[in-house]
């Protein structure tokens, strides 16, 4: 489910393209990790946030 949610977010909702900056909120979570990787594969610059420094 996490992979599908990330795929829909990156490809259908965000419609990201190579060279764009992508911000991932909750980047340390299951969906956030996959969404960040999908955006990187598409050639985007990925910036993420997490709730704590440890994450």
Identify the CA nearest to 9 among candidates 37, 45, 50, 43.
Answer: 37
**Interatomic CA distance for residues 11 and 49, integer angstroms:** 20
- Residue identified by tokens 């990330």 is 6
The model's pTM is 0.89
Is pLDDT at 1 greater than 90 in this prediction? yes
8-45 pLDDT, tens digit per residue, is 999 999 999 999 999 999 999 999 999 999 999 999 99
Check: CB of residue 9 under 8 Å from CB of residue 34.
Answer: no
Give the C-alpha separation, 16 to 36, whole Å.
Answer: 11
Question: Where is pLDDT greater, at 55 or 46?
Answer: 46
């Amino acid at each position: 489910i996490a992979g599908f949610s990330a795929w829909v977010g990156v490809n259908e909702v965000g419609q990201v393209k190579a060279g764009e900056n992508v911000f991932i909120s909750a980047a340390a979570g299951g969906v956030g990790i996959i969404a960040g990787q999908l955006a990187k594969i598409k050639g985007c610059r990925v910036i993420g946030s997490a709730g704590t420094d440890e994450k």
